[in-house]
């Protein structure tokens, strides 16, 4: 995948090529206006030497800012690449078809109905099993009562 800066310089950062070209023109004119402003201030004041000293003093400050911008641009580019990879994966998943030409992610209505019927039959089966277990528990409880009564009637060993 190409980086953001490469796409930016090629004029491909927006989906519409016209918008990309207009954006680059605006950036170019802003840069040109800034250059004209600087040249005009040099010409008007005649203080080229003083401004050169100021530029030297500001170099350290601007170098740090530029380094921060470069780091941030790299991080944003990495995030954009991750998003691109996720979108590509989603496209790949939705672009797979079975032998009949039906997308794999698509669930047919007949399959959905079959799943509903299977779930309903499992629910009915589970309900019946619970009822049977309750009856077995009742019978076992009754048998325990009978065994206790029989045990009470038996002679006790001394």
- Entry pTM: 0.32
Cα distances from 55 to residues 44, 48, 50, in angstroms, run 18, 10, 9
What integer pLDDT is reported at residue 55 of this predicted model? 59
| Domain positions in the chain | 1-46, 50-106, 109-158
Is residue 45's pLDDT more than 70? no
Structure token digits, residue 149:
């009564």
Phi, psi of 84 (to 5 degrees): -60, -45
Using one digit for the tens of pLDDT, what is the confidence trace for 85-133? 999 998 888 888 878 787 777 766 777 788 889 999 999 999 999 999 9
Q: Mean per-residue pLDDT for 134-154?
A: 86
Is residue 49's pLDDT more than 60? no
What integer pLDDT is reported at residue 118 of this predicted model? 92
What integer pLDDT is reported at residue 59 of this predicted model? 66
Is residue 43's pLDDT more than 80? no
């Amino acid at each position: 995948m190409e980086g953001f800066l490469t796409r930016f310089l090629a004029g491909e950062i927006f989906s519409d090529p016209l918008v990309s070209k207009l954006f680059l023109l605006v950036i170019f004119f802003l840069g040109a206006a800034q250059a004209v402003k600087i040249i005009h201030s040099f010409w008007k004041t005649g203080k080229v030497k003083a401004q050169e000293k100021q530029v030297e003093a500001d170099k350290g400050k601007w170098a740090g800012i530029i380094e921060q911008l470069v780091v941030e641009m790299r991080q944003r580019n990495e995030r954009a690449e991750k998003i691109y990879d996720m979108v590509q994966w989603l496209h790949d998943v939705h672009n797979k078809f079975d032998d009949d030409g039906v997308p794999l992610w698509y669930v047919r209505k007949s399959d959905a109905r079959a799943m509903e019927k299977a779930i309903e039959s499992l629910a009915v089966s589970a309900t019946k099993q619970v009822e049977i277990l309750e009856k077995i528990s009742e019978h076992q409880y009754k048998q325990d009562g009978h065994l206790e009564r029989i045990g009470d009637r038996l002679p006790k060993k001394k």
